[in-house]
Amino acid sequence: MVTISRIRTDKVPFWASIRGKILLAFFVVVGSSFLVAATNLTGLVSNYLTEQRTREDTQAAESLAAVFGPMMQSAESTGLNNRLKESAEGLNGRLLLLDPDGKVQYDSLNSLCGQRLAIPEVLKVLVRGEVSAYGMYRLSRETVAAMSGEGEAEYLAYGAHEMQGPRGRNGVLLYVSRIQGMMDSMQGVQNQLNTVFILIAVAALILALILSRLLTTPITNLSRTMRKMGKGDLSVRVPEKGSGELRQLAENYNVMAAQLENLDQSRNQFVSNASHELKTPLATMKIMLETIIYQPEMPADMRQEFLQDMNHEIDRLTGIITDLLTLTRMDNKSDPMKIEEIDLSALTEETLRLLDPAARKRGQTLESSVAPSLRMQGDRSKLHQVLSNLIDNAMKYTQDGGKIRVTLEEKGDWLVWQVADNGVGIPPEDQEHIFDRFYRVDKARSRETGGTGLGLSIVRQLVTMHGGQIRVESEPGRGSCFIVTLPRGERGAETA
């Protein structure tokens, strides 16, 4: 008996399910690749923008320093002041001119005149002697408002450039640049990318859900079907939808299920057929027995006849039971093959000799043509059973005085038996069924001759166990010929 473990019906946790895994994988792949792309992109954009701005601002400071440097010494301060304001407005920034001590001499917004400014860029030019310096800053709103004159801004940039007079360096020009707009547009790019990211993530989520559903539905269906089959309902099938491996899985599963169902049905059929076969002789015997019991004054010769009939029925019962046992033993594989080197020619001759008296009794001739010394690997008693069953059938289904011919010959790697008779024959529509269990063409006749309908199914099974084949050629009224081909080597027997 095969042990059967419990059917799993518990729900798979989400993280362990295929759906969970697909979703996670999708998220990791889509999320991480987008994150990398997005950071690279923002980095690229902001680098480009800041570099360009730095270059522009530095150039502006340089050319303004070239203009205002020589003007520092001239006394025309109002003219200089006006030009400074104009230039600052043109640049949309603030311009300051500082003397070599760092004190503001001119201011386009006028508010810082006379003050000393300790701004890093100014110090770099004045103290460290650099020609120009540039830096962008994020500062408090008050500081930005005080320095650039721009309200509600957090960013500004300082561009400093030395100024040269006729007698060398005479101060520094400070350009306060309003970069809030640029920073805002950079933030805009960042926000846009975030929106795109969220959109892509949602799309990926939906896609992953659809994909995982496509993948898991067939599997859940299969699991559900298996559960039902496991509980004993063999008629359920998996819907064969979709394509690819999952469809194949469903199709293969259904083939297996159909085979199981067939097996189950044929087993039931077998049991009911067997019971029926056993019941008939028992019923006949009971009638005869009751007749004998309730008619004590029955004539002696009639009673004798009844008892003989009953004896006949008991023989039939024994025959059926022997055949049934042979079949179930073969089904259970509890009757192993005893493979040995045998002389099939000798075995054929011996079988013919054993059956010859029975044929003689009915006036039938048993002819033979057996090629000598044909050897093969096989089970002696099983092969004997095959041949005697076939000859027995030939005698049973041939009229008295008929002719039966048995031949054994060699055809390449195969040995071929032919058992031919000139008896009743088998109608074409019955030919494919005669090897089925309990199948008989003429039930009444077969029962009369003691047949069970199991003989040929046993024969076919024995032949297949040897790796061979059996077929029939027959014409009703003219006779039948059973042809058995057997492989000589053991290879055939093993694969059977």
Ligand X SMILES: Nc1ncnc2c1ncn2[C@@H]1O[C@H](COP(=O)(O)OP(=O)(O)O)[C@@H](O)[C@H]1O
Which partner in Mg ion, ligand X, none is near 424 (CB below 5 to 8 A by kind)? ligand X
Length of the chain: 496
Q: 3-state class of 377 per DSSP?
A: strand
Cβ count within 10 A of residue 226: 16
Smallest distance, ligand X to C-beta of residue 403, A = 12
Query: Is residue 216 involved in binding ligand X (CB under 6 A)?
Result: no
Q: What share of the chain is helix, strand, coil (3-state, %, to 5)?
A: 55, 20, 25
Among 157, 161, 158, 156, smallest CA distance to 126 is for: 161
Give the range of 248-256, 263-271, 276-284, 391-399 binding Mg ion by CB under 5 A: 391-399
Exactly one of 221, 345, 393, 485 binds ligand X (CB under 6 A); which one?
A: 393
Query: Is residue 402 involved in binding ligand X (CB under 6 A)?
Result: no
Exactly one of 393, 422, 474, 485 binds Mg ion (CB under 5 A); which one?
A: 393
Which partner in ligand X, Mg ion, none is near 441 (CB below 5 to 8 A by kind)? ligand X
Site for ligand X in 464-493 (CB under 6 A): 480
Query: Is residue 441 involved in binding ligand X (CB under 6 A)?
Result: yes
Containing H/E element for 435?
none
Binding mask 411-450 for Mg ion (x = CB under 5 A): ----------------------------------------
* DSSP assignment letter at 47: H
Q: Rounded distance, CA 488 to CA 493, Å?
A: 9
Exactly one of 69, 455, 468, 479 binds Mg ion (CB under 5 A); which one?
A: 455
Q: Output the DSSP codes for 105-169.
A: EEETTSTTTT-B---HHHHHHHTS--SEEEEEEE--HHHHHHHH--TT--EEEEEEEEEEETTEE
* DSSP assignment letter at 103: B
Give the range of 16-24, 39-47, 118-126, 422-430 binding ligand X by CB under 6 A: 422-430
Q: Rounded distance, CA 43 to CA 37, Å?
A: 10
Query: How far from each other are the two terminal CA atoms of the chain, in whole angstroms?
Result: 23
Specify the residue, 134 or 482, whose C-beta has the smaller distance to Mg ion.
482
Exactly one of 159, 402, 423, 492 binds ligand X (CB under 6 A); which one?
A: 423
Which partner in ligand X, Mg ion, none is near 397 (CB below 5 to 8 A by kind)? ligand X
Exactly one of 394, 406, 465, 470 binds ligand X (CB under 6 A); which one?
A: 394
Containing H/E element for 489?
none
Give 418: exposed, middle or buried? Use CB within 10 Å, 0-12, 13-18, 19+: middle
Q: Rounded distance, CA 97 to CA 69, Å?
A: 9
User: What angle in degrees, to the nearest 10, is found between the helix axes of 18-68 and 180-230?
Assistant: 170
Smallest distance, ligand X to C-beta of residue 242, A = 46
> Tokens standing for 376?
């093969």
Query: Is residue 93 involved in binding ligand X (CB under 6 A)?
Result: no
Specify the residue, 97 or 434, whose C-beta has the smaller distance to ligand X.
434
**Number of residues lying near ligand X (CB under 6 A):** 21
Specify the residue, 65 or 419, whose C-beta has the smaller distance to Mg ion.
419
Query: Is residue 455 involved in binding ligand X (CB under 6 A)?
Result: yes
> Tokens standing for 127?
């103290």
Which partner in ligand X, Mg ion, none is near 351 (CB below 5 to 8 A by kind)? none
> Tokens standing for 49?
């923008």
Smallest distance, ligand X to C-beta of residue 323, A = 8
Phi, psi of 356 (to 5 degrees): -55, -45
Exactly one of 326, 421, 468, 493 binds ligand X (CB under 6 A); which one?
A: 421
Cβ count within 10 A of residue 355: 19
Binding site for ligand X (CB under 6 A): 393-394, 397, 421, 423-426, 434, 439-442, 446, 451-456, 480
